[in-house]
Amino acid sequence: MSAPVISDVAEGSPACDAGLLVGDELLSINGVVPLDVIEYQQLVDNSVVELIVRRSDALIDRKVIITKNAGAPLGVRVDSAVFDRIRTCDNHCEFCFIYQLPKGMRKSLYLKDDDYRLSFLYGNFTTLTRFTELDAERVLTERLSPLYVSIHTTNPALRSAMLRNPRGATSLQWLSHLLEGGIEIHGQIVVCPGVNDDAHLEETLLDILDRFSALCSVGIVPLGISDHSNEPAMRAHSVEEAQRTIDLVEQYGTVSESLLGRRLFYVSDEYYLLAERDIPSAAFYESFTQIENGIGLIRSFLQEFESGKIESSHDFGGFFQWVDGAPPWGYRSPRGEVTAQRSTEPPVLLTGPYGAPILRSLLNQHGFESIEVLEVTNTFFGGNIGVAGLMTGDDIRRTILAHGAQGRYIIPDICLQENRFLDGLDVADLPGAVEVIDTSGASLRSVLEASRQRVSV
């Protein structure tokens, strides 16, 4: 177990006034050694916070007492969300995308967690195979909600086989326990063709309605398969399989509406693209609770493009859970610096194979036919990977060079994390004039309108 280390101190905060510095270790808070940032938050919520602080250049540890308003932020960010040890995943799912990553990427990308605390903080999906009675007691007592649970199938034997873990057959008992305790939970089913689709998927949807109808939402997403997979049984969906999955899930979504008064089941946008079907309306997605899981993301983008403003009414749930002091991991991690400029030169838009036809249709509908959309083929991952969020620097660089590197190239920040792509390249490594925009329909509309207005002057 390691002590939390301060990675940032807010200017003018109680922590700043008390002289805390980046690099200080917080050995204890109010006499307690916190296990994670959730416990840390509860401890620093007090009006009087007593810290034992270790500084690298000091001979002895020192006591710091901070007085503030109860519930007011301390004003520091720590370097980790978990101080004891992240619970790594002991499943060996053949469909796990981490096993399909190429070698040589950042070490952090290969971390495979199954920790309910990261589910609460960042919206990571957990299988509950490492969940314990003590965990359940803490979740229920501290109301750590919402959580996100990977279901995949409710058939015990099949779930055990898919997770390659005997505990997969029984771990959904915790799902029942938490739901009975009033914890908000969102589920996910990764559908693998020929494994848990068709009749198996229908059995799972029926079982969820019978046993787990208190779930807030269940997202059904297709298997992502890269060229680096070593699992011969794993393959991409066919068009017909995607169409059958949509029909089945929408059928049971309608059933859930009649039984529960709300739609429980949703398929990801990728299914509609694979099946060559229209994306449902905004009303279909209600509060867009799994938008960061690729469910309703396209409709939200189109809606924002139409209105010219970011829709603030979406309930993003646990994907943006905030605990004061938690490091910005995962969905909360800073993407890239937005650099789009107002320019007379028309932009060239870069996106993945899935997004390209959507953008072209959108541009044609709104009088931007002259705007060029470049499709970035994902050779880094290969397989059926075609979303914009997994575009890599080298693939973008190759696409720009093939285009002649003559133009004003626009990329969405969703493919960046702290201004770097998944393959480690920086935006500055790209050829030509590359600008980054926020991944929203409103931001794209703003860039296009500015270009059109300037040209018309």
The answer to whether residues 301 and 353 belong to one domain is no
State the average pLDDT over residues 421-447.
Answer: 93
Q: Please check the confidence at residue 313 and state whether its pLDDT lies above 60.
A: no
The answer to whether residues 238 and 298 belong to one domain is yes
State the average pLDDT over residues 383-390.
Answer: 93
Is 218 within a domain?
yes
pLDDT confidence band for 162 (50 / 70 / 90): very high
Is 327 within a domain?
no
Listed ranges 102-116, 180-194, 411-425; the one with the highest mean pLDDT:
180-194
pLDDT of residue 354: 94
Q: Which domain holds residue 274?
A: 98-320
10 Å CB burial of residue 92 (0-12, 13-18, 19+) is: exposed
pLDDT of residue 315: 44
Cα 168 to Cα 86, 137, 179, 218, 303, distances in angstroms:
20, 21, 18, 18, 39
State the average pLDDT over residues 175-179.
Answer: 97
24-35, pLDDT tens digit by residue? 999 999 999 999
Percent of the chain residues topping a pLDDT of 70: 95
Spatial distance between the Cα atoms of 312 and 288, rounded to a whole number of angstroms: 11
The answer to whether residues 114 and 196 belong to one domain is yes
Is 1 within a domain?
no
pLDDT of residue 393: 96
The answer to whether residues 41 and 181 belong to one domain is no
Q: What angle do CA 114, 182, 216 make, to 5 degrees?
A: 70
State the average pLDDT over residues 319-339.
Answer: 75
pLDDT of residue 333: 72
The answer to whether residues 261 and 121 belong to one domain is yes
Domain boundary among the residues 270, 296, 320 is at 320
The answer to whether residues 250 and 175 belong to one domain is yes
The answer to whether residues 72 and 121 belong to one domain is no
The answer to whether residues 178 and 308 belong to one domain is yes
State the average pLDDT over residues 223-236.
Answer: 94
Q: Please check the confidence at residue 380 and state whether its pLDDT lies above 50.
A: yes
pLDDT of residue 318: 53
Is 88 within a domain?
no
Decide: 123 and 330 in contact? Cβ < 8 Å: yes
330-367, pLDDT tens digit by residue? 666 777 788 877 666 889 999 999 999 999 999 999 99
Phi, psi for 205 (deg, rounded to 5)? -65, -40
State the average pLDDT over residues 126-149.
Answer: 97
User: Higher model confidence: residue 253 or residue 325?
Assistant: 253
The answer to whether residues 236 and 122 belong to one domain is yes
185-191 and 265-267 beta bridge pairing: unpaired
pLDDT of residue 319: 57
Side-chain-side CA neighbours of residue 147 (13 Å):
29
Is 329 within a domain?
no
The answer to whether residues 357 and 316 belong to one domain is no
pLDDT of residue 302: 95
For residue 64, the one-letter residue type is V
Is 87 within a domain?
no
137-147, pLDDT tens digit by residue? 999 999 999 99
pLDDT of residue 303: 94
pLDDT of residue 311: 62
pLDDT confidence band for 68 (50 / 70 / 90): very high
pLDDT of residue 455: 45
Is 326 within a domain?
no
Query: Out of 107-111, 236-240, 452-456, which region has the weakest mean confidence (pLDDT)?
Result: 452-456
Domain boundary among the residues 264, 290, 320 is at 320
For residue 120, what is the domain's CATH number?
A: 3.30.750.200
For residue 64, what is the domain's CATH number?
A: 2.30.42.10
Q: Please check the confidence at residue 326 and state whether its pLDDT lies above 90.
A: no
Percent of the chain residues topping a pLDDT of 90: 81
The answer to whether residues 346 and 315 belong to one domain is no
Side-chain-side CA neighbours of residue 230 (13 Å):
6
Is 352 within a domain?
yes
Domain boundary among the residues 293, 320, 347 is at 320
Side-chain-side CA neighbours of residue 7 (13 Å):
12
Q: Backbone dihedral region of 358: left (phi > 0), alpha (psi from -120 to 50 degrees) or beta?
A: alpha
Cα 286 to Cα 2, 216, 299, distances in angstroms:
42, 12, 11
Give the residue among 85, 107, 117 at the shortest CA–CA distance from 2: 85
The answer to whether residues 70 and 214 belong to one domain is no
Spatial distance between the Cα atoms of 275 and 335, rounded to a whole number of angstroms: 30
Spatial distance between the Cα atoms of 116 and 138, rounded to a whole number of angstroms: 11
Give the residue among 406, 387, 400 at the shortest CA–CA distance from 427: 400
pLDDT of residue 417: 86
Domain count, the chain: 3
